[in-house]
């Protein structure tokens, strides 16, 4: 899985207010790493704790802008962590992210002071949108600004959805822009057409469509200096696509 500190740390541009710090408390290390990667691509600074005890310690040491909290944690579950936060007067926004889907679990989470309750599986686009919505409610729009993204001679400015190549603005269709961001989230690995259909268009994995191929061709024509010999947006035969920096 995979929005945005700059892709190249040496070229990163943070806003005047500085990056937004998030804490992910999640015991599944693979899932936590994927989530961290996606959020860092979005411009957030992300810390990870793999259990509730360590998560509470991190929050007490430095309160982040938002906590993404799994419910089913070893030792001390997410509900207990959330209860302790509110009992101690720590009003950091908390998004519960869990496989528990029962209405009773959701009501319990909100009753303890959660700001949102999201059930797995969830698309990364929806998750990021809901995290941003909580940040807006809690801190205001100015805390949401992501940083600029760079790779090769491409520059992306998410607040305005502006893309430049060698300093010149290139016009992308809305879905071409969304496709570019989806590929960036999975940077340097092969992404199947089914994954892109799900992440960008919301289609089920079994949907058969040439939509992805058509949009990739259009995007490649716009971001590559030589579309016939692409440097960044590569086709991996019988597997999908890969965006290389």
Residue 59 has pLDDT above 60, yes or no: yes
> Is residue 3 very low, low, confident or very high in pLDDT (cuts 50, 70, 90)?
very low
Q: Which of 15-29, 33-47, 115-129, 195-209 has the lowest mean pLDDT?
A: 195-209
Q: What is the mean pLDDT of residues 71-91?
A: 91
For 132-153, write each residue's pLDDT tens digit. 899 988 876 544 445 678 888 9
Q: Which of 18-27, 146-155, 229-238 has the lowest mean pLDDT?
A: 146-155
> Is residue 110 very low, low, confident or very high in pLDDT (cuts 50, 70, 90)?
very high
Q: What is the mean pLDDT of residues 104-121?
A: 92
pLDDT value at residue 207:
55
Looking only at the bridges linking them, the beta strands covering 154-157 and 149-151 are antiparallel
pLDDT value at residue 209:
67
Q: Is 139 helix (H, G, I), strand (E, B) or coil?
A: helix
The domains spanning 9-143 and 149-243 adopt the same CATH topology: no
Pick the CATH number of 9-143 from 3.40.50.620, 3.40.50.2300, 1.10.1740.110, 3.40.50.300: 3.40.50.2300
Torsional class of 18: left (φ above 0), alpha (ψ -120 to 50), beta (otherwise): left
Q: Which of 17-21, 71-75, 77-81 has the lowest mean pLDDT?
A: 17-21
Residue 15 has pLDDT above 50, yes or no: no
CA dist 149 and 159 (Å) reads 11
| Angle, CA of 107, 87 and 24, to the nearest 5° | 70
Q: Which of 72-81, 135-144, 214-223 has the lowest mean pLDDT?
A: 135-144
Mean pLDDT of the chain: 83
- Give 187: exposed, middle or buried? Use CB within 10 Å, 0-12, 13-18, 19+: middle
149-243: CATH topology is: Arc Repressor Mutant, subunit A (1.10.10)
> Is residue 165 very low, low, confident or very high in pLDDT (cuts 50, 70, 90)?
very high
pLDDT value at residue 82:
94
pLDDT value at residue 161:
80
Q: What is the mean pLDDT of residues 105-124?
A: 90
Beta bridge partners of residue 169, listed in sequence order: 164
Kindly report the backbone phi and psi dihedral angles of residue 97, in degrees, each rounded to the nearest multiple of 5, phi listed first: -125, 110
Distances (CA, A) of 69 to 101, 125, 208, 244: 15, 18, 36, 32
Domains of the chain, by residue range, sit at 9-143, 149-243
Q: Which of 68-72, 99-103, 229-233 has the lowest mean pLDDT?
A: 99-103
Q: What is the mean pLDDT of residues 49-62?
A: 91
């Amino acid at each position: 899985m995979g929005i945005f500190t700059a892709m190249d740390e040496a070229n990163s541009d943070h806003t005047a207010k500085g990056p937004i710090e998030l804490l992910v408390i999640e015991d599944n290390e693979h899932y936590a790493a994927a989530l961290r990667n996606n959020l860092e691509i979005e411009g957030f600074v992300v810390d990870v704790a793999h259990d509730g005890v360590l998560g509470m310690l991190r929050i007490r040491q430095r309160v982040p802008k938002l906590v993404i909290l799994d419910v089913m944690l070893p030792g001390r579950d997410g509900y207990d962590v959330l209860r302790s936060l509110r009992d101690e007067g720590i009003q950091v926004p908390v998004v519960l992210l869990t496989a528990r889907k029962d209405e009773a679990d959701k009501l319990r989470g909100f009753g303890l002071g959660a700001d949102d309750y999201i059930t797995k599986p969830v698309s990364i686009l929806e998750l990021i949108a809901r995290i941003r919505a909580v940040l807006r409610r809690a801190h205001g729009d100015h805390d949401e600004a992501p940083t600029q993204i760079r790779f090769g001679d491409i520059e992306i400015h998410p607040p305005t959805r502006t893309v430049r190549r060698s300093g010149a603005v290139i016009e992308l269709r809305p879905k071409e822009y969304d496709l570019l961001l989806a590929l960036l989230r999975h940077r340097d690995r092969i992404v199947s057409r089914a994954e892109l259909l799900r992440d960008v268009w919301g289609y089920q994995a079994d949907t058969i469509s040439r939509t992805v191929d058509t949009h990739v061709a259009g995007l490649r024509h716009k971001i590559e200096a030589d579309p016939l010999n692409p440097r960044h947006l590569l086709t991996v035969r019988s597997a999908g696509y890969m965006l290389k920096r």
